[in-house]
Amino acid sequence: MSETIQTLLQESRTFPPTPEFVAQANANDPKIYQDAAADPEGFWEGWAKQLDWFEPWHTVCDFQPPYAQWFVGGKINAAYNCVDRHALGDRKDKIAIIGEGEPGDTRFITYGELKDQVSQLANALKALGVGKGDRVSVYMPMIPELAVTMLACARIGAAHSVVFGGFSADSLAERTNDAKCKVIVTADGGWRRGNIVPLKNTVDETMDLGCPTVTNVLVLKRVGTPGEVTNGVVTPEYSQGSWVEGRDIWWHDLVPQQSTDCPCEPMDSEDLLFVLYTSGSTGHPKGIVHTTGGYLTGTYATSKLVFDLKEDDVHFCTADCGWVTGHSYIVYGPMANGATVLMFEGAPDTPDKDRFWRIIEKHKATILYTAPTAIRAFMKWGDEYPNRCDLSSLRLLGSVGEPINPEAWIWYQQTIGKGNCPVVDTWWQTETGAIMISPLPGITPTKPGSATQPFPGISVSVYNEKGEGKEVTGPGIIDSAAGGFLVLTKPWPSMTRGIFNDPARFQKTYWSKFDNAYFAGDGVKLDEEGYLWLLGRVDDIMLVAGHNISTMEVESALVDHPSVAEAAVIGKTHDIKGQAIAAFVILRGGHQNHDGLVDELKKHVAHKIGALARPDDIFISAELPKTRSGKIMRRLLRDVAEGRALGDTTTLADPNVVHLLRDKYEASEG
Ligand code: WT7
């Protein structure tokens, strides 16, 4: 990490916005920062007024740390704002969603059609007994019906809990049961690298594990039976699962028959919109709660200013809707703005490594929002792939998920943006709901590797261990450099309203380190010009390919294997993924290391959590470095895995253990 800090702080290139971009930008007057800082509530209220409300609020913000309420007393519906108001207005025939399936099948859905589809599914969910206040698990491929499902839930006041399609049955069951979901909406499968992700089969396994609150499984036919042809691509063999009569219902047997009339439920501004599970450092996932009015206001405003969204834009966010990025910047933010969004089902290297660039060329995408891990993979694959495609439609590039190294930033700006597109590096979290730190592309000179400034109306401070620190109020306002913990000191509309059913954990995780301030868990450095440089997590969360995975979660999955006695997991620097998972494992008495055991353990973790948590390295060891009180010193394991000099070993019960471990580890690395 110290190396990262060094390279980051040596970065001195700056890229001011071009006059052409400034002239047309949604935000081009730096005064927006001063105005918002002088009256943050007034600033946010101005944005809320751009949404359609059934009834106005009486109080803008009521903050009783750690909980805030926004637009209190207001009545609103998210689906109405993302669909109906466009369908009923000038955007009826405007494309809302371009669905690009992995086999190359493409669908265009207008706002008018979207309104009908969302309404029919909403009525179908009602027919299955889902109503206001209920929860629905959504386990689907990245196809338009996933957005339709989220919006249908919002329409009737049911909260969705979208679970990424790469998660295992165990993970889906845990999340479904924690949220007490009534229905699971899924598909027979989805396409990934020419194979089928057998979603319905995994839902069957999930139900076998026991989901007592689930009464029905609604199944969309996406891939069909092996041998079927989609856009010239034949569906390969996959596990189709079984069909449980009464429980399982085909989407096509229920949804198209429904009425296209379904009123939008007037929701309280503070009613639950969705729960989204994210890794926590104690192991089991946290159900992050977002409510309606504030979340929509935050995602609407940031979409408009950070992505500079305009009527003709084609917004291509490459995230999956299983993550918050897909919630906020495919569905709610862009659609509240009436934008055209692209949804891509597959992998960036299928059928070839130019797939993203082909999609941009084909649909004339104007905005690309992707992750550093993807950008680094593209760099490695080579410039020939983007260079053989026409990327001239692009006008803005975004990055999210982890710190972007200056080299990748420059490559993105040059090779993809041809030097003509502002790059916005956006810092935020599942918990923050919307972008918190980012350049405004028509105002902020960017520095490669820095997320630059807090969004207007957002109060960021950099604290030291004692909770003393500096507020970052805007360009040129601070006087000297500081480094430390990133905290948010004032409430904002899209902030999480807590952890589903676990207020104590919410208080402890985010609000106990510092008084009355939200601690994000990230380290940050502030430079002399008031620019923020994010340095990654300071806790036990790893950022693997931009996704949160907790070390504890992987450790429990390993220890769950019959031959494992103890496991210590760390994130190890990785060229492309940012961090890779490395595990140190002690076997149980009577169990020997043997050929294939490491692979078996990797598979076991993938099976328990999902393929994204599969460790890259597993090292079987006789002992682990422990303190006298028996705590594993992961810091030293990180030193071993990174090939660094060992840090302080004086608190170890037996310092020899770690030296021996290092020698063996290095020998095994060859
Ligand atoms: C964590 C949140 C928000 C969408 C994706 C991840 C890291 C996110 C950046 C960035 C440096 C970043 C932080 C944060 N992170 N964006 N631009 N620069 N770090 O959502 O899974 O809730 O993860 O991702 O460490 O805390 P998430």
Residue nearest to atom 19 of ligand 1 (CA): 402
Tell me what pLDDT residue 482 has. 54
Check: CB of residue 657 under 8 Å from CB of residue 624.
Answer: yes
Tokens 């919002």 correspond to 154
**609: amino acid identity, one letter:** I
pLDDT at 622 over 80: yes
Tell me what pLDDT residue 478 has. 43
Residue nearest to atom 5 of ligand 1 (CA): 401
Distance of CA 303 to the CA centre of its chain: 15
Q: What are phi and psi of 584, to 5 degrees?
A: -110, 125
Q: Return d(Cα 106, Cα 100) in angstroms, integer.
A: 5
Token couple for 25: 């930008």
CA of 288 to the centre of ligand 1 (A): 15
Which protein residues are within 6 Å of ligand 1, measured from CB? 278, 324-325, 400-403, 425-430, 451, 520-522, 534, 536-537, 543, 547-548
pLDDT at 4 over 90: no
For residue 638, give the DSSP letter.
H
Confidence of residue 476 (pLDDT cuts 50, 70, 90): very low
Tell me what pLDDT residue 474 has. 54
Check: CB of residue 519 under 8 Å from CB of residue 510.
Answer: yes
Predicted TM-score (pTM) of the model is 0.93
User: For a substitution probing ligand 1, which of 397, 522, 542 has the most ligand atoms within 8 Å of its CB?
Assistant: 522
Confidence of residue 6 (pLDDT cuts 50, 70, 90): low
| Atom of ligand 1 lying closest to residue 325 CA | 4
User: Is the link from the previous residue into 236 a cis peptide, with omega within 30 of 0?
Assistant: no
pLDDT at 483 over 70: no
Distance of CA 335 to the CA centre of its chain: 18
- Average pLDDT of the chain is 94
Provide the Cα torsion 375, 381, 384, 386; round to 10°.
Answer: -30
Look at residues 404, 400, 375 and name the one whose alpha carbon lies nearest to residue 4: 404
CA distances from 304 to 18, 93, 434, 545 (A): 19, 21, 12, 27
Residue nearest to atom 2 of ligand 1 (CA): 429
Q: Which CATH superfamily includes the segment(s) 19-445?
A: ANL, N-terminal domain (3.40.50.12780)
Check: CB of residue 135 under 8 Å from CB of residue 172.
Answer: no
| Atom of ligand 1 lying closest to residue 534 CA | 11
pLDDT at 451 over 80: yes
Check: CB of residue 280 under 8 Å from CB of residue 550.
Answer: yes
The residue-averaged pLDDT of 108-129 equals: 98
Q: Return d(Cα 381, Cα 372) in angstroms, integer.
A: 14
Domain layout of the chain by residue ranges: 19-445, 545-669
Q: Return d(Cα 520, Cα 541) in angstroms, integer.
A: 12
Size of the chain in residues: 670
> CB neighbours of 643 closer than 8 A, spacing ≥ 6?
666
CA of 670 to the centre of ligand 1 (A): 34
Distance of CA 492 to the CA centre of its chain: 19
Check: CB of residue 394 under 8 Å from CB of residue 368.
Answer: yes
| Atom of ligand 1 lying closest to residue 435 CA | 3
The residue-averaged pLDDT of 589-594 equals: 89
CA of 400 to the centre of ligand 1 (A): 6
Token couple for 365: 């995408």
Helix/strand/coil for 531? coil
The residue-averaged pLDDT of 261-284 equals: 92
Q: Tens digit of pLDDT for each residue in 219-272? A: 999 999 999 999 999 999 999 999 999 999 999 999 999 999 999 999 999 999
Tell me what pLDDT residue 10 has. 62
User: For a substitution probing ligand 1, which of 429, 509, 541, 550 has the most ligand atoms within 8 Å of its CB?
Assistant: 429
Tell me what pLDDT residue 670 has. 60
Check: CB of residue 441 under 8 Å from CB of residue 467.
Answer: no
Residue nearest to atom 20 of ligand 1 (CA): 429
| Atom of ligand 1 lying closest to residue 451 CA | 17
Token couple for 281: 């450092």
| Atom of ligand 1 lying closest to residue 430 CA | 22
What number of other Cβ atoms are within 10 A of residue 281's Cβ? 16
Token couple for 476: 């040129």
Q: Which CATH superfamily includes the segment(s) 545-669?
A: ANL, C-terminal domain (3.30.300.30)
| Atom of ligand 1 lying closest to residue 399 CA | 17
Token couple for 292: 């309606």
Q: Return d(Cα 50, Cα 301) in angstroms, integer.
A: 9
Look at residues 478, 473, 486, 476 and name the one whose alpha carbon lies nearest to residue 533: 486
For residue 583, give the DSSP letter.
E
